[in-house]
């Protein structure tokens, strides 16, 4: 997918989704092999599109699981189901963080940091 038409936060999200799919999701265990770096790129536009339109967690898990079982022929694996769910969480949170920062800048993170600091001081 050509990314020139995307905004900077969208390009960052696209690149990070690519990295997450390869290094974390990695259902075929290829992330340690540099020659396989582009193995999951075929799924990237669909995952990016779902994340951009704010799909829910279950939809993203269903899509990734379907790719694992139907496209890759890996079948059902309880360990992979857990990882897929965590990856879906990570992808959806990543979008929120990237776009929060692009809209609000550093002030958004200063507010978060201040709240964390208060919770630590108060023991909670």
Using the predicted structure, report yes or no on whether residue 111 has a pLDDT greater than 80: no
User: Which residues touch 31 (CB under 8 Å, ≥6 apart)?
Assistant: 22, 23
pLDDT confidence band for 109 (50 / 70 / 90): very low
pLDDT at 124: 42
pLDDT confidence band for 14 (50 / 70 / 90): very high
Rounded (to 5) percent helix, strand, coil in the chain: 75, 0, 25
Q: How do residues 18-38 score in pLDDT, each as one tens digit?
A: 999 999 999 999 989 888 988
- CA 114 from centroid of its chain's CA atoms: 26
Q: What is the maximum span of the chain, computed from C-alpha positions, in angstroms? A: 51
Spatial separation of the C-alpha atoms in residues 1 and 45, rounded to whole Å: 7
pLDDT at 105: 52
pLDDT confidence band for 98 (50 / 70 / 90): confident
Q: Cα torsion at 90, 95, 98, 104 (round to 10°)?
A: -120
């Amino acid at each position: 997918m050509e990314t020139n038409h995307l905004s900077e936060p969208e390009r960052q999200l696209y690149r990070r989704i690519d990295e997450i799919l390869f290094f974390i999701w990695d259902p075929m265990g290829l992330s340690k092999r540099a020659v396989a770096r582009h193995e999951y790129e075929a799924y990237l536009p669909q995952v990016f599109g779902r994340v951009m339109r704010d799909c829910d967690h279950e939809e993203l898990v269903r899509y990734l699981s379907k790719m694992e079982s139907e496209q890759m022929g890996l079948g059902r694996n309880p360990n992979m189901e857990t990882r897929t769910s965590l990856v879906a969480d990570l992808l959806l949170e990543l979008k929120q963080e990237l776009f929060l920062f692009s809209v609000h800048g550093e002030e958004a993170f200063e507010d978060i940091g201040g709240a964390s600091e208060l919770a630590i001081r108060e023991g909670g």
